[in-house]
Structure 1
Amino acid sequence: MAEEQKVLTVNIVTPSGIVYDHHATLLVVPAMAGQLGIMANHEPIITPLEIGEIRVKRTDDPAREDAIAVNGGFMEVSHNVASIVADSAERARDIDITRAQSAKERAQNAIKTASEHNDTDELRRAQIALQRAINRINVKNHLL
C-alpha cells in the first residue's frame, strides 16, 4: 500500500499573477460557511471565499505561519493541491500599514457621505472597501 502524502501545495493566484506558492501541513481559509482547515489528503472540495485571512503552516519551518489577506474568490482542493483564485491577495509582509489605514479612513468618510445622501449603492461599495482595509490591517498586525 502506498504511503499517504503529508504535504499540501498551496497556490494563490490573482488577476495580477501568482501571490503565493508553498508547501504546507495546514491551510486555513475564510470560506463562506466559516473558517475551513485543510490538510494533506483532504477530499476534493470547491468553496467560495470571503474577505479574510488565509493562514498557511509551512513544511519548511514548522514554527512559521504565513498570513495572506484575500478579498474574496474561491478555492479548489484536489490531489494535495489547494488552488486559490482570489480577486486580490497580499502577503502580510507586503502590506503597507499606512496605506491600509488611509484606505480605512477614506472608506469611513465614504460611508458617512453615502449615508447622508441615502445612496445605497455607494454605501455598499464603501462598506466593502472598509472590510478590505480592516482585513489588511488585521493581517499585517497578526504578523507583528
Structure 2
Amino acid sequence: MDQHLTVNIVTPSGVVYDHHAKIVVVKTVDGEMGILPHHAPIIAPLIIDEVRVNRIDSETHVDWIAVNGGIMEVRDNVVTIIADSAEREREIDIARAQRAKERAERMIAEAKAHDNVDELSRATVALHRALNRINVSNHL
C-alpha cells in the first residue's frame, strides 16, 4: 500500500497544486487537521487559511498554499481541495496583496462609520483573504 498522499488543489481556474506528500495540514471550521497516509475518508469545510504540504521528495521541503475556504475530501490516500481561489507562496504578488489589505481596511472603516453590517462583513472577509496571502508569501 502507498505510504504517501496525492494532493490536488483545484479552483474554477484549474489545478493549482498536484504533488505527493507525507502530510497535509489544513484548517477546518472545527480546527486544525493533519492528514497522513491511510487517513479515514472524510469531507470537511475549510476556512480561509494556509495549507501546509510536506512533500515526499524532500526531508525539509514544505509547500504553502493560500486557500480561500472550500471543501476538502480525503479518500484512498488522495486529498482533494476544491476552493474558489488558491495560490502557492511563490505565485503571490505581495504588493497586490498589500494593496488589497489596505483597501479592505478602508472599507471596514467606512462600513463602521455608516453602520453597514453587510459591507463590514464583506470587507472583513476581504481583509482576511489579503492577510492570508501575505502570511503565505512570508514562507518563501
Alignment of 1:108-127 (within 5 A): 108-127=105-124
Which deviations, in whole Å up to 9, do the C-alpha atoms of 1:54-78 show, x marking residues without a partner?
Answer: 0000011121000000000010000
Give the Cα separation in 1 of the matches to 2:47 and 2:130.
14
Give the Cα separation in 2 of the matches to 1:97 and 1:136.
8
Identity of aligned residues (%): 60
Give the Cα separation in 2 of the matches to 1:5 and 1:23.
11
The letter for the 2-side match of 1:103 is A
Q: Which runs of 4+ in 1 moved over 2 A?
A: none
The letter for the 1-side match of 2:37 is A
Q: Which residue of 2 aligns with 1:9?
A: 6
Q: Mark the runs of 5 or more structure 1 residues left unpaired by the alignment.
A: none
Q: Which residue of 2 aligns with 1:103?
A: 100
Give the Cα separation in 1 of the matches to 2:7 and 2:59.
15
Q: Which residue of 1 aligns with 2:28?
A: 31
What TM-score do the two structures reach when normalised by structure 1? 0.95
Q: Mark the runs of 5 or more structure 2 residues left unpaired by the alignment.
A: none
| Shift of residue 142, structure 1, vs aligned partner | 2.0
RMSD over equivalenced CA pairs, Å: 0.6
Q: Which residue of 1 aligns with 2:39?
A: 42
| Structure 2 residue corresponding to 1:57, chosen from 54, 57, 72 | 54
Which deviations, in whole Å up to 9, do the C-alpha atoms of 1:28-63 show, x marking residues without a partner?
Answer: 011111110001100000000000000000011121
Secondary structure, aligned partner of 2:43? strand
| Shift of residue 87, structure 1, vs aligned partner | 1.3
